[in-house]
Chain A
Amino acid sequence: MASTPSKSQILSLFRSLLRTARDFSDYNIREYTKRRTIDGFRHNRHVSDPSSIAAAYSDAESQLQIARRQVIVYSLYVPKLKSVMEIKHA
């Protein structure tokens, strides 16, 4: 199907995932998404086989679509109390 994604495309996808993670209002899912994208991209750092690279890239793309939808869903049910981790102590 699509040819192997270039380095800048991969980095752009990485950035989009991290940006989407920032839009979550819930602390837990936000931190999880950031952690998971960083872990996922680092895990596949040394993959050199083009078809594996393309497979991992499309996998990440579908995860990005899921995350974007979930940002909207989560924003419908924002709890009144913030997570204790988000309370900054002076």
Chain B
Amino acid sequence: MVTVGWTKSGFPSLRTSRFRVSCSAKPETVQKVCEIVKKQLALPAESELTPESKFAALGADSLDTVEIVMSLEEEFGISVEEESSQNITTVQEAADLIEKLVQKKSEA
């Protein structure tokens, strides 16, 4: 893993590699997504959320999913397209999409 020092707003000290090919998201991103999902679905703070948790399994309906995507957009300062947002069903998918958009934004 190569340590690259660039500043990303909101992520001060992280080690990240420009050449990473795998599509796993950073744990901090996954953690933030979990927090937003918990808040939206009013889950207790101790509830265990794995990256593979499906929103529907946690009791979210389609309106909840839209609201969660909106909160993620605001939290990370990204803009999610219509088609992409319909494909988000798990925490991991959301985190991966966020990473992709944040990276695209910082490269633009």
Interface of chain A, main secondary structure: helix
Tell which of B61, B67, B86 touches A38, judged by Cβ atoms closer than 8 Å: B67
Across the two chains, which residue of chain A brings its CB closest to B70?
Answer: A18
Across the two chains, which residue of chain B brings its CB closest to A21?
Answer: B70
Contact check, A38 vs B82: say whether CB atoms are below 8 A apart.
no
Report the count of interface residues on A (CB-CB < 8 A). 13
Tell which of A7, A18, A38 touches B62, judged by Cβ atoms closer than 8 Å: A7
Contact check, B70 vs A11: say whether CB atoms are below 8 A apart.
no
Is A80 on the interface with B (CB-CB < 8 A)?
no
Chain A 5-21 per-residue mask, 1 if CB under 8 angstroms from chain B, else 0: 00110011011001100
Contact check, B66 vs A15: say whether CB atoms are below 8 A apart.
yes
Contact check, B74 vs A11: say whether CB atoms are below 8 A apart.
no
List chain B residues, Cβ under 8 A from A18: 66-67, 70
What is the bound-complex CA distance between A15 and B72, given in angstroms? 13
Contact check, A22 vs B82: say whether CB atoms are below 8 A apart.
no
Is A45 on the interface with B (CB-CB < 8 A)?
yes
What is the bound-complex CA distance between A22 and B85, given in angstroms? 18
Contact check, A45 vs B63: say whether CB atoms are below 8 A apart.
yes
**Closest Cβ–Cβ distance, residue A77 to chain B (whole Å):** 24
Is A42 on the interface with B (CB-CB < 8 A)?
yes
Q: Could you list which residues of chain A lie within 8 angstroms of chain B, going by C-beta atoms? A: 7-8, 11-12, 14-15, 18-19, 22, 38, 41-42, 45
Q: Could you list which residues of chain B lie within 8 angstroms of chain A, going by C-beta atoms? A: 61-63, 66-67, 69-70, 74, 82, 85-86
20 A-B pairs in the complex with CB atoms less than 8 angstroms apart:
A7-B62, A11-B63, A11-B66, A11-B86, A14-B63, A14-B66, A15-B66, A15-B69, A15-B70, A15-B82, A15-B85, A18-B66, A18-B67, A19-B70, A38-B63, A38-B67, A41-B63, A42-B63, A45-B61, A45-B63
Q: Which 4 A-B pairs have the closest CB atoms?
A: A18-B70, A14-B66, A15-B66, A11-B66
